[in-house]
Structure 1
Amino acid sequence: MIVSPAFAGKRYAILGLARSGMAVLESLHASGAELLAWDNREELRDSVADKALIADPLESDLSGYDAIVVSPGVPLNTHPISQKARLDGVPIVGDIELFARARSALPPHRVVGITGTNGKSTTTALVHHILISAGVPAVMGGNIGLPILSQEPLPAGGVYVLELSSYQIDLTESLDCDVALLLNISPDHLDRYDDFDGYAASKARLFDMLGAHHTAIFASADDKSRLALQGLLDLARVEGIVDTASRNIAGQPDWPSLQGPHNLQNAIAAVAVVEALGIAEAQWRPALESFTGLPHRMERVAESGGVLFVNDSKATNPASTGPALGAYPKIHWILGGLPKSDSLAECEPFYQNVVRAYTIGEAGPLFGQLLADHVPVEPCEMILTAVQRAAANARPSEVILLSPACASFDQFRDFEARGNCFRCAVQSVIESGMIGTEGAEATG
């Protein structure tokens, strides 16, 4: 784990003992900090009773504490811990800020910070893959993989590749990335912000922490990204500003796990990042071909009877699903869940690629109405039904794509559970020989 003398003798209150919270506790304890910890789950409180004072920070006197460390999942706009922190005069931080404060004790290294509404995980994993392929010691963390503080420090010359959500940036004050990347900004998580402007400003704060001699990369032409880019240019504070919005890279057909216009954008951005770190084309190009992608993000689950099944369960909003529809010319599209908006506007440019849509979950009726004048729609409610109907209708060279454009919480614990359900349904229809049965009946 990462430890630091910067924490020795200091006092921290930790709210939430899930993965990142537990990593914070272990790191701070091993660094010699004095801790107060709390979680609503008694078994988690009991598990750390030998390392921290167990008490609810909302009911404790925190004056004199160095910080309250909260999980990114704690909504600062509504949770009473925000008012408590103000009353006691204690800053609220997250594990990424603690990592930033621990950096001075680590072997010489560099940090990449990647944020944006869509594509963060794929781009983070791709940057990490390119670095490892080039022989550079690297780990990835933040909003992906293991909590960063629980990972072993890299040797000199290593690179920490961090996926950063807006929530994590909100809890960070001093992360000076060597390379900071903004992929794109579209409306999301608006329950945590006053409005879209507030959400966009949270993303852009990554560049406020950037040192003058470091690199800022902007990958998209959307309005909010352009505004953040122009703001940084106007300040004339950061020397290395790179705009990849109009760049292109040849060879995408050779990258099986990076299909679709959104993944081309991700690849272009990742290449800009690694080139800023000194990686040459002879190193990054083969890595684009060998990249295997992430589970639940344009994941090729199976192919049977000439029909490809793709799991894109991580597409939890229309802005993420739209480009996925651009990846293939003939798609049986499974969509729905807990809607984040009443529009599919970002998907509309790709309707010509949709053979048929199959709606599921709470958003099913709404999405059925939105699509009715554009593509054939079958209301299915459940993923298994949707996969069965899509498999029966699909022909060779067509694709069955789960790209919900919705959160999963109406029917599933998270998008991973939804994607796993899709995988099971795919296996079921393959084993039952259902693929193309509607077509066989029609022509028999």
Structure 2
Amino acid sequence: MIPVQGYEGHKVAVLGLGRSGLATAAALKAGGAVPVLWDDSPEARAKAEEAGWACTDLGREGAFEGISALITSPGIPHLYPKMNPVIATAMAEGIPVDNDIGLFFRSWATADWDSFDVTPRTVCVTGSNGKSTTTALIHHILAHAGRPTQMAGNIGRGVLDIEPAIDGEVVVLELSSYQTDLARALTPDIAVFTNLSPDHLDRHAGYGGYFAAKRRLFAEGGPDRAVIGVDEPEGVYLANQMASSREDDRVIRVSSVQKLGAFGWSVFARKGFLSEWRKGRQVASIDLREVMGLPGAHNHQNACAAYAACRSLGLAPWVIEAAFHSFAGLPHRSQTVAEKRGVRYVNDSKATNVDSAAKALEAFPNIRWIAGGLGKEGGVASLRPLLGAVKKAYFIGHSARDFALELAPLEHEICETMEAAVARAAAEAEPGDTVLLAPAAASFDQYKSFEKRGEHFAALVAALPD
């Protein structure tokens, strides 16, 4: 646990009592603060009370008397689409509002660091797609190289729940736009921006607000090194804002579609090969085509970003390459769950939107595609140009018939359930085919989460005959 600094003897309100909220309360108490807890959910309050915490209604009149700050969980709206009433009261009364990310950065460094030979560092990863894989890959590479490392944030543990730093440690944090948007302190040593595509637009009042939330990681903190994907205009803009010249190697530009040799430092992947260029010359190359845990151009972009971050930390190319080959990938993200009778089965249940599904469809040949669920605004018609590798689709869930209409004349079958889709795809698959679950839809019509959907797919595949 990271004891929170700066609030000793002060009352600090905590709104939202999920994983990060309870970890925040414990970290505040460890730092000498007096946490005042509340959640609008009776179930969440009950769990907190079972864990030994008392709850105080922050919505009542006078609740913020004597309170020094309000720490809110990332999922609670603090501005758009409508400000939470408790947050609105705090702001109206001039109470500083922060989140656990802000507390982490104000509390991470301690006097103990004066005795360390190597100062601990933080690598923070944000973006729309690929940030979880990139975060996990950086952590994996560091562990493979024998560097002390922890991983937290939007993946794994809450940021205040990790252990205090040891000599030379690197903490790798995945940060969502919900987390970067509100944090009052953002001071990463290395900041990574993967890419940008529409998501959470209601929470940020549009695409510009969404990008602005991501950009805060760079603009507020001024990282020593910025690793920036430049395959979208926003990334090109951000790299330009961060670099003082084209040769400025404090900015490492990353791409999975274009050569970037003209800059001071760049890493890009083309036709399955990762290349590192510095000052106009290639200095390293890695063949990514046989790295099973990183299939497709979107994962090659993740590999480039992770490679760039680890090179910034002083790791050699051959060390990073070896770690690539031992990376198994993340569950539900282009995860190969089995190969049976010459057929590969891939669980990409995390592909809950069109953009993520598009990346999966571009990553594999000879696809038998399982898709559907609770469709999102805008539909899936934009996927039509990417269906060249799809031999047949098997549609499930609430949007099955809508998908069939939007993607006509794609050969398809309305299966309704995952059981029927897996059975039909397996029965018709031939050696060399890939049965791909990439739903392009939310899971909530049939499952509690995309994880449960992916687990069901994997269990059904495991039950198929070898």
In the superposition, the TM-score normalised over structure 1's length comes to: 0.91
Residue aligned with 2:241, SS: helix
Write the letter of the residue equivalent to 2:130: G
Aligned match for 2:356, one of 317, 320, 334: 320
2:11·2:67 contact (CA, 8 Å) conserved in 1?
A: yes
1:440 matched to which residue of 2? none
Change (3 A) 1:396 1:252: same
Amino acid at match of 1:269: A
**Letter paired with 2:403:** F
- What does 1:38-437 align with in structure 2 at a 5 Å threshold? 38-39=38-39, 40=41, 41=43, 42-50=45-53, 53-59=54-60, 60-76=62-78, 77=80, 78=82, 79-105=84-110, 107=113, 108-211=119-222, 214-233=224-243, 240-245=250-255, 246=258, 247-248=268-269, 249=274, 250-344=286-380, 347-373=383-409, 375-428=410-463, 430-431=464-465
Q: Deviation at 1:345? A: 5.9
Q: Structure 1 residues 227-236 or 57-66, which shifts more?
A: 227-236
Indicate conservation of the 8 Å contact 2:5/2:106, yes or no: no
CA deviation string 1:45-78 (max 9, x = no partner) = 313555xx52121225215423211211112222
Q: 1:116 to 1:194 in 2, by over 3 A?
A: same
Q: 1:294 to 1:44 in 2, by over 3 A?
A: same
Q: 1:49 to 1:267 in 2, by over 3 A?
A: same
Pick closer, same or farther for the CA change 1:284–1:394 going to 2, 3 Å. same
Helix, strand or coil: the match of 1:295? coil
Residues 356 and 440 in structure 2, CA contact (< 8 A), matched pair in contact too: yes
Structure 2 residue matching 1:309: 3-state secondary structure: strand
Change (3 A) 1:316 1:163: same
Asked if structure 2 preserves the Cα contact closer than 8 Å seen for 1:61 and 1:88, the reply is: no
Extract unaligned runs of 5+ from structure 2: 114-118, 259-267, 275-285
- AA at the equivalent of 2:396: I
SS in 2 for 1:391: helix
1:170 Cα deviation (Å)?
1.4
The SS at the match of 1:189 is coil
Q: Deviations over 1:129-176 (max 9, x none)?
A: 111111111111000001121121231110110001000111212121
| Range with greater deviation from structure 2 (107-116 or 267-276) | 107-116
Q: How does 1:16-55 map to 2 (within 5 A)?
A: 16-39=16-39, 40=41, 41=43, 42-50=45-53, 53-55=54-56
Ranges in structure 1 where 5+ consecutive residues have no aligned partner: 434-444
Task: Please list the CA deviations of residues 349-399 of structure 1 after superposition, one character each: whole Å capped at 9, or x if unmatched.
Answer: 4311111111122222221112113x2121222211111111121111101
Q: 1:219 to 1:345 in 2, by over 3 A?
A: farther
State the 1:239 CA deviation: 7.2
2:280 match: none
Contact persistence 2:384–2:407 (CA under 8 A): no
* C-alpha contact (below 8 Å) 1:23/1:147 kept by paired residues: yes
**Aligned counterparts of 1:44 and 1:61: Cα–Cα separation in 2:** 22
CA distance in structure 1 between the aligned counterparts of 2:211 and 2:452, rounded to whole angstroms: 29
Distance in 1 between residues matched to 2:321 and 2:245, nearest whole Å? 34
**C-alpha deviation, 1:235, in angstroms:** 11
C-alpha change, 1:346 and 1:206, in structure 2 (3 Å) is: farther
Verify the 8 A CA contact 1:63 1:88 in the aligned structure 2: no
Paired residues, number: 426
Cα pair 2:332 2:454 within 8 Å, conserved: yes
Change (3 A) 1:175 1:325: same
SS of 2:196's equivalent in the other structure is coil
Equivalent residue of 2:205, what SS? coil
Structure with greater helix percent: 1
Alignment pair present for 1:7 and 2:7? yes
CA 235–47 in structure 1, closer or farther in 2 if over 3 Å, else same: farther
8 Å CA contact 1:188, 1:340 repeated in 2? no
Partners in 1 of 2:68 and 2:245 — Cα distance? 32
Q: Offset of 1:18 from its aligned partner?
A: 1.3
What amino acid maps onto 2:46 in structure 1? E
Q: What CA deviation, in whole Å up to 9, does each residue of 1:200-257 have, x standing for no partner? A: 1111111112336x11111131122223333334799x97112112322131122111
Q: Mean Cα displacement is larger for which, 65-74 or 181-190?
A: 65-74
Letter in 2 for 1:137: P
Q: TM-score, normalised by structure 2?
A: 0.87
Between the aligned partners of 2:236 and 2:461, the Cα distance in structure 1 is 41
The alpha-carbon deviation at position 296 of structure 1 amounts to 0.9
Asked if the contact 2:124–2:173 (Cα under 8 Å) also holds between the matched residues in 1, the reply is yes
| SS of equivalent to 1:296 | coil
Pick closer, same or farther for the CA change 1:166–1:196 going to 2, 3 Å.
same
Q: Distance in 2 between matches of 1:154 and 1:371?
A: 51
> Is residue 338–residue 406 contact of structure 1 (8 Å, CA) maintained in 2?
yes
Distance 1:71 1:80 in 2: 14
Instruction: Give the Cα–Cα distance (whole angstroms) in 2 for the partners of residues 5 and 227 of structure 1.
Output: 35
Q: Single out whichever of 292-301 and 333-342 deviates more from structure 2.
A: 333-342
Identity of aligned residues (%): 41
AA matched with 2:187: D
Contact persistence 1:323–1:347 (CA under 8 A): no
